[in-house]
Chain A
Amino acid sequence: MITISNLTVVRGGRRILDDVSFDIHPGELLGVIGPNGAGKTTLFECIAGLQPITSGTIRKGELFYMPDGVKPWPDQTVWWTLEIFGAMWGIPVPPLDYLNQRVSSLSKGETKRLDIALALLAPHPVLFLDEPFDGLDIRQVRATIEQLRDVARNGCTLVLSIHQLTDAARVCDRLLLLNHGRVIASGTPAELGDLEEAFLALT
């Protein structure tokens, strides 16, 4: 469905992404893991068309990307934000327990839940989520994993950038390990074995 071939991104003489190639298969739940500065966000933004690429090709269909750290329209209420987003796609506002709060007053976890709700409103067959569990407590992580699994079961392809290796292993069908802008390993969590050891050995 999505094919990335020899993707290279150079900024200010520095190679952020270096000859990255991989495929994303329909319906899979792919996790992109890697240390800070590995190029995960740049990779996602290039695929979403929000950053220019230096060379390589990206073959893709419709997709929606939810960046990390987004606190959209802080002066508005959560309901307004969801309503505007839903109206764009013709989808009703999903239930959230803090609809009347202003976005500016949300905690980190509440903001992340709002971001995920916004992403899941998008009717695209492929969703890219940058750090979807960042700021969530254990219970919320568990609920979000279930939610994402449901979405994947309904045929949506999910590509997640994840910091926490345990979360990555729990939720993803396949993992892609990125370091210094290069893909250094990929496979199912079982194939990669002890993820923490593999991560430390390869990065």
Chain B
Amino acid sequence: MRSLRVLLRKDLGELFASRAFWFTLLVIGPLVGQAFIQAVSTYAEVSAGALPQGLSPLDGIVVPSLGAYELAIMLLFPFVAIRTISAERTSGALKLILQWPVPVGAHVVSKLAALLVAWLLSLTAFGIAMGLWLGYGGHLSGAEVTNVLLGYTLRFVFTAAISMAAAALVPGAANAAVVVLAFTIGTWALDFLATGRGGLWQTLASYTPAAAVRSFERGLMRVDVIAVMLIVTVVALFIAARFLKIGSIVAAVVAVAIGAGSIVLASQIRTSFDLSEDRRNSFPAADERALRSIKEPLTISVWLSPEDPRMNDFERNILVRLRRTVPHLREIYPLEGRTGLFSDYGQIEYRIGDRRVMSRSTTEEIVLETIYALARVPAPPHSEGAYAGYPLAKGDGLENPSCIVFYALWPLTVLAAWRFVRRSPRTG
């Protein structure tokens, strides 16, 4: 236990000695501040307008403020994570600590723990932003904020693990950075290419870091997404640990194969929790009960191309909800990988047994009516009121305190802390 404490102390000491960490901390404040100030300004403007109903702080404030962390996770934190391994490899310290009486895996876990401390420290800027928001009289839902923070934290851990694996696999921090960048661009490409294609590609794309965070941003906690992200993280950490000492390609390939198998199994999990305050990922409770009572398999064939805005509407407003509710749902995308003109384009076919209905609508009411009629289930009466939203009561002069905090106090505090840490050599 003492050895593990020393290991963590060493990794925290190295984290606080890292310029990459202090630079990340320095820039995260102004980035969060800029996003937050812009978001508050827009929110206040819309609140004062003619249609403030349904305004959600999750979409209007929380997610935009966290946008800065997306940038940091992609472009800044990988360098902090890579440094935890590459600096010790370059200096030769790695050869020394690998002889310490701790398992190789403990080194990787300790580095990840130190990185999590860095992440939590960086989240202080977000915490300040949310504090200011509450001070302005804004509203926050604890469940929504916790959920979206969980999503970002999972993404951070995922990226940190990939970065550490890259640093362990290839010599030099620059090479590792190229590997991580290539991985990130690869996930973007997958995310872009697979949208609305259905099948394996869409399943894979729904687990890219960007797509995974998107579901959290919509207030949805999907157990399959959490499981897949954790599996990738564990596999990456295993590879990092194996290659810290004597690398074994066979062990890495076996780990990736086991990880891939586990991901296939995890992707079958359908459990999810709608933590959004406006229940945007759920149908009204009465409709959910009615949909759950449909025991026969429901097949939906969507004749829309991925680029079609109706496809996006149908995915966000209907399919996400149906996946959570209908026990046996099958989706077919006939246009997947095909181009040309199709007579059925724009149609959505619903099939239960040998009964089928074609429709062009992507609105909730019509889709539900269609499914109830097809399933011969009586449509339930609607009794739930619409989400009222949380418009901001006062909107003037909100930028000033935020500007001072994020553009002046934050950088000064970070610089002072960095100076204090740098200038305090101790001799016991």
Residue positions of A touching B, CB distance < 8 A: 45, 48-52, 64-67, 69-77, 79-80, 83-85, 87-88, 90, 93, 99-100, 102, 118, 122
> Are A65 and B95 neighbours in the complex by a CB distance under 8 Å?
yes
> Are B6 and A76 neighbours in the complex by a CB distance under 8 Å?
no
Residue positions of B touching A, CB distance < 8 A: 2-3, 6-7, 9-10, 13-14, 17-18, 87-88, 91-93, 95-96, 98-101, 245-246, 425-428
A50 to B243, CA, bound (A): 11
Query: Closest A-chain residue to B93, C-beta based?
Result: A72
A79 to B427, CA, bound (A): 6
Say whether, besides A79-B427, A80-B425, A93-B428, A70 and B6 are in contact (CB < 8 Å).
Answer: no
A70 to B96, CA, bound (A): 9
For the complex of A and B, list the 7 residue pairs with the smallest distance between their C-beta atoms, beginning with the closest: A70-B92, A72-B93, A75-B17, A77-B425, A87-B6, A100-B425, A84-B10
Could you tell me the distance in whole angstroms from the C-beta of A134 to the nearest C-beta in chain B?
Answer: 14
List 10 additional contacts besides A73-B17, A102-B425; criterion CB under 8 Å.
A45-B95, A66-B96, A70-B93, A71-B92, A73-B14, A75-B14, A84-B9, A87-B6, A100-B425, A118-B96
Which residues from A are CB-within-8-Å of B98? 50
A100 to B427, CA, bound (A): 7
Q: Which of A48, A77, A88 contacts B426 (CB 8 A)?
A: A77
Query: Closest B-chain residue to A99, C-beta based?
Result: B427
Query: Closest B-chain residue to A118, C-beta based?
Result: B96
Q: Which of B92, B99, B246, B426 contacts A79 (CB 8 A)?
A: B426
Could you tell me the distance in whole angstroms from the C-beta of A188 to the nearest C-beta in chain B?
Answer: 30
Query: Closest A-chain residue to B246, C-beta based?
Result: A52
A157 to B129, CA, bound (A): 60
A124 to B246, CA, bound (A): 22
A72 to B18, CA, bound (A): 14
Which residues from A are CB-within-8-Å of B246? 49-52
Which residues from B are CB-within-8-Å of A52? 246
**Which of A66, A84, A88, A90 has the most chain B CB atoms inside 10 A of its CB?**
A88
A72 to B98, CA, bound (A): 13
Query: Closest A-chain residue to B3, C-beta based?
Result: A88
Which residues from A are CB-within-8-Å of B17? 73, 75-76
Question: 23 A–B contact pairs at CB < 8 A?
Answer: A45-B95, A48-B95, A49-B245, A50-B95, A51-B246, A65-B99, A67-B92, A70-B93, A70-B95, A71-B91, A73-B13, A73-B17, A75-B18, A76-B13, A76-B17, A77-B426, A79-B428, A84-B6, A84-B9, A88-B6, A88-B100, A88-B101, A100-B425
Which residues from B are CB-within-8-Å of A77? 425-426
Say whether, besides A80-B425, A88-B101, A100-B425, A74 and B6 are in contact (CB < 8 Å).
Answer: no
> Are A69 and B92 neighbours in the complex by a CB distance under 8 Å?
yes
A72 to B17, CA, bound (A): 13
A75 to B18, CA, bound (A): 8
A72 to B100, CA, bound (A): 14
A50 to B100, CA, bound (A): 12
Query: Closest A-chain residue to B100, C-beta based?
Result: A88
> Are A72 and B91 neighbours in the complex by a CB distance under 8 Å?
yes
A96 to B425, CA, bound (A): 15
Which residues from B are CB-within-8-Å of A87? 2, 6, 9
Which residues from A are CB-within-8-Å of B13? 73, 76, 80, 84
Which residues from B are CB-within-8-Å of A72? 88, 91-93, 96
A50 to B95, CA, bound (A): 7
Which residues from B are CB-within-8-Å of A49? 245-246
A190 to B92, CA, bound (A): 36
Say whether, besides A52-B246, A67-B95, A79 and B6 are in contact (CB < 8 Å).
Answer: no
Could you tell me the distance in whole angstroms from the C-beta of A116 to the nearest C-beta in chain B?
Answer: 13
A73 to B17, CA, bound (A): 9
A50 to B245, CA, bound (A): 6
Which residues from B are CB-within-8-Å of A83? 428
Could you tell me the distance in whole angstroms from the C-beta of B199 to the nearest C-beta in chain A?
Answer: 42
Could you tell me the distance in whole angstroms from the C-beta of A159 to the nearest C-beta in chain B?
Answer: 15
Which residues from B are CB-within-8-Å of A75? 14, 17-18
